[in-house]
Amino acid sequence: MITKERMSFISGYVDSLFPNAKCELFYNQDYELAIAVMLSAQTTDKAVNAVTEGLFKEYDSLEKLANADIKDIERHIKKLGLYKNKAKNIQGIAKTLLNDFDGKLPSDKDALQTLPGIGNKSAGVIRIEIFKIPDLPVDTHIIRITNRLGIASKKDEPIDIERKLKKLIPESSWIKTHHQLIHFGRYFCTAKSPKCDGCALREICKFKNISS
């Protein structure tokens, strides 16, 4: 098990690389962020931003989304994977918010997970971004980084990795570290051709050992 001292070193390094890391999904209304987070499953934030611009411009309220022609929602997001199911989730989110939450995004994690397509990770992202509630949701980038650095093992589920990170990192730093680890995985410690040369974590990285 990695020590808190080593985790502090890792956190300090990613902080030096990405001191101002933040969510890169575009949104104006709270519910738009929930939809964008749902859409980001198995695709990039850049791809999501490209389709939500037109979607949210045409359907600028929950009521319009709830009553939209599902085929037209599909048309807007067709470039994304699983777009048919995601279109149903978009409309489902709108209807659930209107029917169960008076049109307001809930802050409770269990309540958020009643929205179609919103699981533990997505609920955590929403709580961080909209409500500034400390959480440390784990995405594919964080899974890759924690495996390479020995924080987690390949058998660990995302919720296992989340628990491990929360034990190693002070709660006051959860939000910042969440964003910084994602940026580190997205732009530095990438799945293919990571920038290993000059990386301060090279000596503790399993990927380096495998690829050397």
In the set 121, 135, 164, 176, the catalytic residue is 121
Nearest to 45 by CA among 154, 117, 169, 141: 141
Rounded Cα–Cα distance for residues 59 and 31 (Å): 12
Rounded Cα–Cα distance for residues 107 and 110 (Å): 9
In the set 86, 135, 139, 164, the catalytic residue is 139
Residue 135 annotated to the active site: no
Residue 109 annotated to the active site: no
Rounded Cα–Cα distance for residues 130 and 128 (Å): 6
Are 99 and 140 in contact by the 8 Å Cβ rule? The answer is no
Q: ∠ CA(78), CA(192), CA(18), 5° rounding?
A: 85
Percentages of the chain per state (helix, strand, coil), in multiples of 5: 60, 0, 40
Residues with active-site annotation? 121, 139
